[in-house]
Amino acid sequence: MTALGDASPVTSSLALIYATKWSDAVSDVLFAPAGCGTQFTVEDAYELAGSCLDDDLLDSLLPLCLVDERSIACVVIGTDLPGRVAGDVVRLHLNKVAAHHQLHLLDVDPVFYVHSLEQELKAREPGLRRVLDVVGPAYQESYLVEEKEKKPRDFVVRPVRIACQNVIVALGAIAQDSTFDGLSVVAWQTCEVPHVATHEANRALAALMLADAFQNGGTMEIRFDRTAKVVFGEEVVELAGHPEHAVPASLRRFARTVGVVLGVHDPAAIQPSEARALFLAVTPMPDSLRGRVDEAVAKRGITPERLCFTLLSQTWREVELDFLLACSARAGSVLEGGADWQDRSARQAEMEVCRAALMIGMLWRRMNGRDSAGVTDGVRVVEDVSVGVGWDVLDDDGAVTFTGLDAADGVPWTTAFEGHAIRTLTVFPRSSITRDTVDRINSRAARGEQVAVAVPRDARVPEGLIAAPVLRCPDRIANLDQQAENRLLTARIARA
């Protein structure tokens, strides 16, 4: 083990951890020097890690806690790990995992991490019993039996369960509370398991919680200290807030890793500003789209919660939202459900960009998907068969450049590229072709770029003017308009 200087902040943190009397639940997973009273010593951890800790890691990591049966939490004590600083707590997988899943951040300080474990484990059993013995059965009895089968109102305490490969990784119970016009959370339990990415249970449950808070139409304030009532048979059971009576330790721990501090003004609540920052952090999106989202929030008055809910609900998919934000000044109106039906010019402008976004989304999914139905050399795989096609929206041209295409599959919707190993393609999605579009396409084609125009199946294309292949979308203009109207309606009714 690498020796640390006496002045090191990490040394002070570790000394505090080793000198503190922790609960039995924490002592059972904590690695400490021999004689500190823990079940496992640091030497046990090095023996457990075995071949996972090579010489470089030995100089940079110090085992701290068991995370699960196949991973351990380690404190960064060196400066050789890219993107990590001394004092970070990272997760070392003992199984063979992809490089980008190894050494993910668990917390930003070892004292914070162990203290959060103390709080989390103390409240885990009461929280589990609350969900499994009270909220779940009551909900089942009231809403899921065949003779009832009704949808609960937003003020009803609703159980949440998230599982991955038949392993439950998150449990919760939420309800809208009109006394403060926000969301009340009376149960929040997550865990780390070997086959799930670090903090993914926290991220998924937080995303679901925040999406529910937005959909219910409240202020996005989320409280963990409010009493809720559950009708269980003929008995009314009162739940006195979350067992921790504060923002759950596991949620605060996850938030710290994404740069968000929760419970600053009120330890028992997530304020609306904190909820919006967390919503942006938990919503997956490519870097280019994240930049456009940040710009839309800062300069165009689009609320971050609406953008995040749009992506999480897949009302508009990532490439479609990227195109809308980049190529339309009316993106904010589209995301709120579109202009008034009497404003004909605005509706026409929005419908045009919606058609283009829909075609781009369909084309990207077709190019990015790999159909394994015809495989003859093994079992057909139906998951994780994407090609990895990326995109870059060209704001000025209203076009999208796709990269990383599978040369063997060719380009969908046309036979013009057969026999050509196309890896990059710029597509102009249009439902009507103007002279300006023709000039832009021909200009790029003249420079030797691979260019195409995507149009609906029944769109008219001027013959002999465009020096690029035409991609005929399988849907007609009327079909695209119907899809666009469905998306706009979903956006209008998404928030109560």
* Environment class of 178 (CB within 10 Å of its CB; exposed 0-12, middle 13-18, buried 19+): exposed
pLDDT of residue 496: 73
pLDDT of residue 410: 83
pTM for this structure?
Answer: 0.91
- Give residues with Cβ within 8 angstroms of 271, minimum separation 6: 221, 264, 265
Q: How far apart are CA 160 and CA 333, in angstroms?
A: 32
**Predicted confidence (pLDDT) per residue in 147-176, tens digit:** 666 788 889 999 999 999 999 999 999 999
Which two three-digit tokens encode residue 171?
Answer: 């449990």
Least Cα distance to 63 among 114, 112, 7, 98 occurs for 114
pLDDT of residue 407: 73
Q: How far apart are CA 307 and CA 478, in angstroms?
A: 27
Residues in the chain where the model's pLDDT stays below 70: 1-7, 51-56, 146-149, 371-385
**Predicted confidence (pLDDT) per residue in 250-295, tens digit:** 999 999 999 999 999 999 999 999 999 999 999 999 999 999 999 9
Is residue 213 within 8 A of residue 220, CB to CB? The reply is yes
Whole-number Cα distances in Å, 275 to 247, 252, 263, 264? 12, 12, 10, 12
What DSSP string describes 43-106? Answer: HHHHHHHGGGS-HHHHHHEEEEEEEETTEEEEEE-SS-STT--TT-EEEEESS---GGGTTEEE
pLDDT of residue 383: 59
Domain limits, the chain = 9-107, 114-271, 329-374+383-493
pLDDT of residue 1: 43
Which H or E run contains 394? strand 390-394
Residue type, 60: S
pLDDT of residue 2: 45
DSSP secondary-structure letter at 327? H
pLDDT of residue 146: 67
**Predicted confidence (pLDDT) per residue in 364-411, tens digit:** 999 998 765 555 555 555 555 688 899 999 999 999 999 999 877 789
pLDDT of residue 20: 94
Q: Looking at beta carbons, which pairs linking 326-332 to residues 24 or more positions away fall under 8 Å?
A: 326/292, 326/393, 326/394, 326/395, 327/353, 327/356, 327/393, 327/395, 327/398, 328/353, 331/296, 331/300, 331/302, 332/296, 332/300, 332/301, 332/302
DSSP secondary-structure letter at 220? S
